[in-house]
Structure 1
Amino acid sequence: MPRQTPPRRRSYDQYCATSRALDAVGDRWALLIVRELLGGPRRYTDLLADLPGVSTDMLATRLRDMERDGLAVRRRLPAPANASVYELTERGAGLLPVLRALATWGAPDLAERRPTDAVRAHWFAIPLLGPLGAACGGDRVLVEVELPEGLFHIRTGLAPGRPSYGDGAADTAPDARLVMDADTCRALGEGTATLAEAVKEGRVRVRGEGAAARRLRGEDGGGSAA
């Protein structure tokens, strides 16, 4: 039986770095799948739940494309989980700066939430990475962020390529927890407010008693949360 040749990837057929990048991640849903996987390994059902509007066929197709292009891999978790998860390769994880730049560029369009807009708390994580990392002075700090829409966590000071955020509570005790609403979180991510200002105004509550929490509250000699 002759060996089947895999279908040719659609291409812009342009000798251009931007064109090559769009060949790999320019299709609909591709970068949003990357957004989910940047938070760590996810099961297919998790991806389906956190990508409202995607069809099962489209999700399966995009994941196959990402495996083929070396952006993601699928692996089996050991017992007792016995489930398959998808995770980014090093090349796939390298798209984090791209997602951060897109989030910055698109932030002004979030000024008004549309009635049809779905929302997940961890979607606010990427814009918050820079401001929170700066507030923590580049140190390795684990922070949970609590919004009315849900909970996510951010790890600052990690080496490039390691998951720096995730959905839900962290798997270890956090150094601090920030409690705020989505509008405040958006303002922090956009840079129209600083964490120091938001804490002082009572828009952000910082829970925790360790050094990181005190620093984020602006204690211990005048914190660097600005």
Structure 2
Amino acid sequence: MGIDHFRDIIDRCFISPDHKFSITGLPIAHQFTHSGASTVEALKSLNAAFLICLGSERYPHYPSARHFLTEGRPKGISAIVLELYRLGTELIRDEIEEKAKNDLHFDAVLAETARWLEQQPKGFGPELIYRRIWEVFFPEGAALEGDKNRHVAELRETRKVTITKLNPEPVEQPVEEILLTANILLTTPLSDSVEALHCVSPELIGDVLKVTEEPQRHWYDHP
């Protein structure tokens, strides 16, 4: 089953026993079992529980992580993140299962990657290991390995546009009509205490505190 291979891959990539680092270098088990009282530590623990629940049920911390996600009652931003992870766990499993069922190539990639990671490829460098992992989580990136010039040409070809007519409402005042922005993602502080807002201008603190009380409407990935 595709989902079983996927869960095995999660185990090998992100989770490891005895609090040792996994292949990706993330101490997920330690983050889950050694959570502190701060908001940041609580979010780390939630993130770790989410990854553990995406993995196989044979992992020792799976029962407690599952209980943590399903029965946890955190407050503030942790409660919002918890709801996201609860929903995300089910959606990801359903999507992987459906994808593997309808895409035999993807199903084969899952099976082969799981077997390859099971062999504990200690003799391989990180580039090869990450490339194999990318075939599951970032196939577009994995496909860029090899003949880069050919891939660049193919990418440019797919991004070509055909101009069929002039814009009936062309830009006439570029300074006023075009907004140029930097590649930056903005969000609110993790803590809602005034002490944590020392870097915020005094005239903005009130508005920032109001925003932190609003429900989160959007989630974004890196652009």
Q: TM-score range by the shorter chain?
A: under 0.3
Q: Hey, which of these two has a bigger chunk of strand by percent?
A: 1
Q: Hey, which of these two has a bigger chunk of helix by percent?
A: 2
Q: With the length of structure 1 as denominator, give the TM-score of the two structures.
A: 0.19
The structure with the larger Rg is 2
Q: With the length of structure 2 as denominator, give the TM-score of the two structures.
A: 0.19
* Higher RCO (Cα < 8 Å, 6 or more apart): 2
